[in-house]
Structure 1
Amino acid sequence: MSLVQKLFETCKEVFAFGGTGIVPSSENIERLRSVLDAMKPEDVGLNPDMPYFRMTVGERTPAITYLHLYECEKFSMGIFCLPPSGVIPLHNHPGMTVFSKLIFGTMHIKSYDWVVDFPSETPTIVKPSEMQSVEIRLAKVKVDADFNAPCNTSILYPADGGNMHCFTAVTACAVLDVLGPPYSDPAGRHCTYYLNHPFSKFSVDGVSILEEEREAYEWLEEREKPEELAVVGALYRGPKFVES
């Protein structure tokens, strides 16, 4: 059995009874993690010399290629291919458990969880000036680091583990994503994008953090899907798997 076939079969079992906000058991999480940890570029038919990973001359914002492997109402599998400096902007995964495996390359990941024990558990409107009001919510930085393949699969959960994250390609890189369940507008699982602001930028009544801890907290502000984000689809041409 190919590793991508094993991945599909494992996902089908792990997410069989899944849904919004339902996290697989710890045993199932470890099962799926172990399959993803073993994935190498050749297991999905990728290498850094492919056109997906090249910068185009004069291109300000590199296009990102998405290779669709599979999607059903329970889970999805796909690969994001990022040229150097490619960015997947800060976004969320509502009610979802997400496994991200860096197949090759170096990627910077910055992720956040909502702070739920402050008055800002719900969005707070602040007025930096008389002409402007901003709706913000407090989040704690979970991860802010470079990851080099091969490395362990990262996992985020509906309420912790870094549910909002941003990917920046330090070098050309590919990341295999498994989402359970996948995004679905009819089911209320919308992809929301955010701007991040330093904690010191806004002052909110009832919210105080020790100065030496403030770098671990930022304000997130909802935004429209960034205009500069360009994701193009391409056919997955790696080892085949049977959707049994």
Structure 2
Amino acid sequence: MVWVVCLAMAGIGLRLQGGGGGGARKERLGKYSPYAAERQLTTLEEPEEGGKVGALFGLCNLATQNMVEGKLQLYEGDFELISTCLNDITPEEFGFPPSRDDGKPIIDYVDIFEEKNFTACMFKIPAGSRLPMHDHPGMYVWSKVLWGEMEVSSYDRETAQATPRDKSFPSLPSQALDLRPFKVKTKRDREVWRSEDGVKITTPTEGNIHEFRAVTTCCFVDVIMPPYDFMQGRRCTYYEINDREDGTWARPIRCPADYVTRSLKYIGETVETIEG
């Protein structure tokens, strides 16, 4: 299945530990707290062979234990732990080492794992191609360039409140249901991202409308929670950005015709998912 933009993540009361040969095993956990997550990292810091991607799955699963009726509550520790784990995983461990493009303007998509409340996926973008301007309504996204370079342009709604970094972070109502043009302010203007820059975080109010354009052929991974869900009001909307005398505006549009993806099979470290 080809998903036009990424998805997101799940799991209630489970933990994964890397098993021999890349397998994983599930254990029950007690009530989640940021401190429990820190203790969890101690277990996952030195995974056995094939365990780093499983460790990432486990941390995402922990972070979404407070997911109730589509509402997600995250803590500062969740951002730090998931970022640390994602930064430590190599392209080879994800099964996607550097490679050339085939000369076609087609974006490759790989689903690493997909659960009800969280997901992780990779995109390979040929040089000069792009993921068009789109949003992640009510979602948090951890993005990491695995190799190559890409330019990122992102925008915030002018009416959005900055997300505090010292408290819990409630999800916001979907902005994708409002199909009228609205004013935005620039968050990033063609900012170049490389693998050495580490993880970049998108929140429901910060950089949530963004476009990725490949400077060189590149690959990046997204960890997203919660996922796109039309019934929950989290649908993907594409935008055209217009600079006018009265400010910068985002106008919802149909999915651009030049945005073509193909789905590839994940061949990285084995992850035992909750749902399969």
Q: Is 2:64 the partner of 1:15?
A: yes
Which residue matches 1:93? 136
TM-score normalised by L of structure 1: 0.79
Shift of 1:18: 2.8
Q: Sequence identity of aligned pairs in percent?
A: 29
Q: Is 2:48 the partner of 1:3?
A: no
Measure, in 2, the Cα distance between the counterparts of 1:182 and 1:194. 19
Q: Is 2:231 the partner of 1:180?
A: no
Q: 1:18·1:180 contact (CA, 8 Å) conserved in 2? A: no
Q: Is 2:255 the partner of 1:225?
A: yes
Q: How does 1:68-147 map to 2 (within 5 A)?
A: 68-116=111-159, 135-144=180-189, 145-147=191-193
* Runs of 4+ with >6 A deviation: none
Q: Given residue 12 of structure 1, which amino acid in structure 2 is its aligned partner?
A: N
Provide the secondary structure at the position in 2 that maps to 1:177. strand
Cα distance per residue 1:118-168 (max 9 Å; x no partner): xxxx9xxxxxxxxxxx95211111112111222221111112x20111000
- Aligned partner of 1:154 among 193, 200, 220: 200
* Number of aligned residues: 206
Q: Given residue 65 of structure 2, which amino acid in structure 1 is its aligned partner?
A: A
Measure, in 1, the Cα distance between the counterparts of 2:61 and 2:200. 19
Measure, in 1, the Cα distance between the counterparts of 2:144 and 2:126. 17
Are residues 157 and 23 of structure 1, via their aligned partners in 2, closer, same or farther at CA, if it must alter by over 3 Å? farther
Are residues 23 and 138 of structure 1, via their aligned partners in 2, closer, same or farther at CA, if it must alter by over 3 Å? farther
Cα distance per residue 1:188-235 (max 9 Å; x no partner): 1100000001133xx4xxxxxxxxxxxxx6211000111111011110
Q: Given residue 111 of structure 2, which amino acid in structure 1 is its aligned partner?
A: H
Which residue matches 1:128? none
- Segments of structure 1 that go 5 or more residues without pairing to the other structure are 123-133, 204-216
